[in-house]
Every structure is written in C-alpha cells, then in structure tokens.
Structure 1
C-alpha cells in the first residue's frame, strides 16, 4: 500500500441552502434515525449525526457550490485558504448521500460514495463565507460559498 491516496471520483453539486443550513444525508432515509433538519445546531460548522452531516452556512438563502471527492485513502488538504475546515465520520448504509436544505428538502442528485454500505471519514473545507453572509442579505446568490468534501474509507 502506497503513501499517496488516489482520487476515485470528483463531482460538483449545487446545494440549496436556506435558514443558514443544509446537510448530506444517507440516500436511504430509513437508515437515518433523526432526519434533517431535526436537531440541527446552527452554531457549528459541521456536526456529524447518525446517517447525516449537518452544515451551518454563513449565508441565509443561497446556492452553495459543493465539490465531492471520493478517495481510496486519506488525501492531502486541498490547496488554498479556507474559512472553515472540519473532520467527521459517517456510516452510509446505501453507499450514496443526498444534499438537503432546511425547508427545500432533498435535492434530486445522488452523491455516490461506493457500491454499498461503508464507514467514511470526511474532511470538509469551505471558503466564501464572509461574502455569502453579506450578499445573501441583499438577495439570492449562487456559488459564492464553496465547499469541498473529501471522503475516504475508514481504515
């Protein structure tokens, strides 16, 4: 086994954020004991819960840009300056996630991690928070707040 992780998949998704919150949740809702947004904590950038990852956005209502990377091992932190960075774990029984807004509900795209159940570590970095906070006070903005989520299997 080498020291360098290989990128398996990289895909971008628009995420509809409302009330400063959104989540990545197991595509199979029956595997999520407490579905989003129940229990959402608006003061923490990333909160891991069974079957879901909750995100607190700096903007009230907007479309954020989410890049999901799936790796075969722990990757390096993405280059750049980040407003927030966090590590968490998630058990994904379906092998797929779906982004969800607070009021907007589930987004149509499935975010594939693997062909089946797995336990994943995720590193999330975010930029554009200050601009999103300021600009969403004057209207809906798109792609100002940007997230990169790097998933890799737990060893």
Structure 2
C-alpha cells in the first residue's frame, strides 16, 4: 500500500527506496474530477484532519520542506486523493543505480470532507 493515514499525517511511500518523488498538491472547494486510472500506477483516497489548516511536506531524506500547503484559515476535516505515476521506473532506478529524483510523480488533491 503506498498511502497510509495517521492522525494528522499522510504517509506516501515511494516504490524506489532511494528515490525522491515529485509532488504536486492541489486544494479544491469540492471533489476534484477523478483522474483517468490509465495515467496512474496507483490511486487512493483517505480522510485527513488538519488542526491548523496547513499541511507540511516531509521527506525521509530531505526533512521538512520550507513550503506548506494551505487548506484553510482554520483546521478541519478533509478528503485527500493521491495519484501516483512512475512507480515501476523509480523501483528499477533504485535497484540499478541506487538513487533517483522526480521519476515518480504524485498528485495530491485535498477538498473539504463535507462538500
């Protein structure tokens, strides 16, 4: 499973153990259109609770990003959909060369849970 949820946290696991994925985040007012599954290796949805209205992005190797994703001015309940492409390529790259960057791409979409 590439998406695991915890209280106030989402863990997105790369298929490449030494790979840094490219992440695009979007915040929507309501559910975004469902992405064509043919364009993605994995897709999953989950509930997400933000106490501050912001989400920080962390990497196991790089630590916390300076940028935050602003969901709202206050905390609340959200849905999140994660779409991921390039997983097989990232796994192969990690196995062959040991490192990689940006081959695996994640699209993370947030919207209010009550929409």
Is the structural similarity TM-score above 0.5? yes
**Higher strand proportion:** 2
**Higher helix proportion:** 2
Aligned to 2:81: 123
Q: What SS does the corresponding residue of 1:109 show, helix, strand or coil?
A: strand
Q: Gaps spanning 5+ residues in structure 1: where? A: 1-43
1:147 aligns with 2:106: yes
Q: Gaps spanning 5+ residues in structure 2: where? A: none
Paired positions, count: 112
Aligned to 1:113: 71
1:75 and 1:63 map into 2 onto residues whose CA distance is 26
Superposed CA RMSD = 1.4
56, 62, 66: which is aligned to 2:19?
62
TM-score, normalising length: structure 1: 0.67
1:135 and 1:123 map into 2 onto residues whose CA distance is 26
TM-score, normalising length: structure 2: 0.89
Q: What SS does the corresponding residue of 1:60 show, helix, strand or coil?
A: coil
